[in-house]
Amino acid sequence: MKFQFSAAKLKLLHSPNEFYQQLIFLCTNARDRISLSALYLGTGNLEGKLVQATREAASRGVRVTYILDAARARRRDKNGNTSLSILSCLKNEFPQNVTITTKYNNSFLSRLLDVLPTGRICDALGLFLEIYGVFHIKIFAIDHTSILCGANLSETYFTNRLDRYFVIQDKSLARWHHHLTDYFVAQENEKINATKNSFRNTITDISILSQKQKRHSKLRKNRKKNKRTKFSVGMVWCFPAMQNFHARIRQEEKLLFELIDTATLLKGSSLGLATAYLNPPQDLINKIVKDPISIDIIFPASSAHGFASASGLRGIIPLAYNKIVQDLSFALSPFQNKRLYAWQLNTNDSFHAKGVWLFQHGSALATITGSSNFNKRARQRDIELSYLLCSSDTRLRRAWTNEWHTYLRNTTRIEFFDKDKEEEATRPLRFYIYLSRLFFSSFL
C-alpha cells in the first residue's frame, strides 16, 4: 500500500495544544466523516469539548466513529467515569450515524469485560488485559484530512505530553483511514490482511535526486536502468505498516529492519530513533551493534517518563526502564557512532514523540511516525500502525531535520553506565526491578 501526494499538502504541528486545536477545528467544520481511534478517551473538560464538537457534527448528519481499546476504555477515573460512559450520550442521541467500538487484543479473557458488572473484579481484569496487550492504533481522519500522530485523546496529550503531528490533506489517504476504521468495526483483529510494501527504491531515488545538480547524467542513467518509481520534485510517498504479532502481521518490524538495511547502502547516511518507552528487542539491538550505521537514540529521562508521577507498584516502572538504559548503554559502549540521549525539559512536560529518521549528509530523507515505540511490547503485544514517509521536497526534509534537532537540543548524552555503581536510592527496590525485568520485560 502506497500513497503519493504533494509536499504542500503536509504540514507539521509542533505542540500538544496545536494538535488539540486542529482536532477541534476539523471536527467543528466536518461535513461528511469523522474517524477517531486511540487507546482511550479522557474524561476531562478538554475531552468533553472534543466530544461536543463531534456531537454537533453528528447533528449535521456527519458520520462519526470512535475506536478505543476495550480494557483501557473501561478504566474508571476518580469520579467513576470511563471513556465509554463519556461517549454513551453521543451514541444514544445519534444511533444512526455514530459508532462506538472497542477492540480486543485477541484474548479470550477480554470477552469477559462485556458481561462482568462494573466493579473491582472488572477493574482488575481490565488492568491485567492492559498489561497483556492493547489496541494501540491511532487514527485521526476528518473528511479529507488525516493527522498522523501517536497521541491519545486525553488532556495530557493536549497540553504537556509531546508527540509528533503530521497534518495531511489527501483524499486517498483519508479515505483509506475511514475504510480501515470500518474494517475494524466489522472484523476481528485476527482477520486483518497484511499488504506488501516496497519502498527501498523510492528512498534510493530520492537520495539520488538530492544530488541532481552534481550527478544529473548519472540520475538519468539509473532511472532508465532500474525502472524505479517515477516522481517529481516536491512529492511525498506514504507507506502504512501494521504490527499485530498475534495475527502474524509483522509489517512494521520488517519496515524498520529494511530501513536500517537501506541506510547502510547509502553513502553518508545515519539514523535517529526516538521512543517514549525504551526497551528494544534483542534482535534489534544485535542489528544496531552489528551494522556500521551511525545511530542516535532519544528516550525520556525519568522525570519526563509517562509513569514519572505514578504511585504504588507503577512507580517502579521508570526505575525498570533505567535498568534497560544501563544495559543498552553497556552494549553500545564500544561504539563511538551509537549514542543514547535522555530528553528532559525544566517543566512538567513529558516525552511521547516516537519515530525514526533516515539522514544522508545531515539531511532527512525519510521518517517513520505513528503509534509504535519500537520496543518489545510494540513488537509482541500491542496492535500498532505506523507510516514511512519519504520526500523529495527540500523544505519538508528540512522540517524533518529541524524536528529531530529540536528534540536533540533538549537531551543529555548518556555515557557508559558502570554496572557496579547504582544510585543508593534504588538499592531497596533492586529486587523488584530485577523481577520486573525478568518476568515482565516483554510488557514494558
Looking at the structure of the chain, the number of domains it has is: 2
pLDDT value of position 348 = 87
Q: Which residue has the higher pLDDT, 161 or 217?
A: 161
Are 273 and 416 found together in one domain? yes
| DSSP structure string for 62-84 | -EEEEEEETTGGG---TTS--HH
- State what percent of residues in the chain have pLDDT above 70: 79
pLDDT value of position 189 = 40
Give yes or no for residue 428 having a pLDDT over 50.
no
Give yes or no for residue 269 having a pLDDT over 90.
yes
Mean pLDDT, residues 93-100 = 95
Among 190, 211, 227, the domain boundary falls at 190
Are 218 and 185 found together in one domain? no
Are 50 and 117 found together in one domain? yes
Are 136 and 222 found together in one domain? no
Among 190, 220, 241, the domain boundary falls at 190
The boundaries of the domain holding residue 185 are 3-190
pLDDT band at 358 (very low <50, low <70, confident <90, very high): very high
**Cα end-to-end span (Å), the chain:** 30
pLDDT band at 347 (very low <50, low <70, confident <90, very high): confident
Q: What is the pLDDT of residues 174-232, one digit of tens each?
A: 999 999 999 999 875 433 444 555 666 666 666 665 555 345 445 555 555 555 555 55
pLDDT value of position 123 = 80
By the 10 Å C-beta count (0-12 exposed, 13-18 middle, 19+ buried), 37 is classed as buried
By the 10 Å C-beta count (0-12 exposed, 13-18 middle, 19+ buried), 86 is classed as buried
Among 190, 205, 226, the domain boundary falls at 190
Are 291 and 436 found together in one domain? yes
pLDDT value of position 129 = 84
Q: Residue 109: which CATH number?
A: 3.30.870.10
pLDDT band at 285 (very low <50, low <70, confident <90, very high): very high
Are 246 and 134 found together in one domain? no
Q: pTM value?
A: 0.88
Are 93 and 233 found together in one domain? no
Are 353 and 419 found together in one domain? yes
Q: Which residue has the higher pLDDT, 78 or 208?
A: 78
Beta strands in 70-159 (DSSP E): 98-103, 139-142, 145-149
| DSSP structure string for 278-292 | ----HHHHHHHHHS-
Are 176 and 39 found together in one domain? yes
Are 326 and 405 found together in one domain? yes
Are 44 and 71 found together in one domain? yes
Distance CA 74, CA 10 (A): 35
Q: Which of 113, 36, 128 is nearest to 82 (CA)?
A: 113
Are 34 and 102 found together in one domain? yes
Give yes or no for residue 419 having a pLDDT over 80.
no
- Whether the CB-CB separation of 46 and 20 falls below 8 Å is answered with yes
Residue 75 CB neighbour total at 10 angstroms: 18
Q: Which residue has the higher pLDDT, 10 or 334?
A: 10
Q: Which residue has the higher pLDDT, 208 or 43?
A: 43
pLDDT value of position 125 = 81
Q: What is the pLDDT of residues 378-418, one digit of tens each?
A: 999 999 999 999 999 999 999 999 999 999 999 999 986 55
pLDDT value of position 323 = 82
pLDDT band at 110 (very low <50, low <70, confident <90, very high): low
* H-helix or E-strand spanning residue 92: helix 83-93
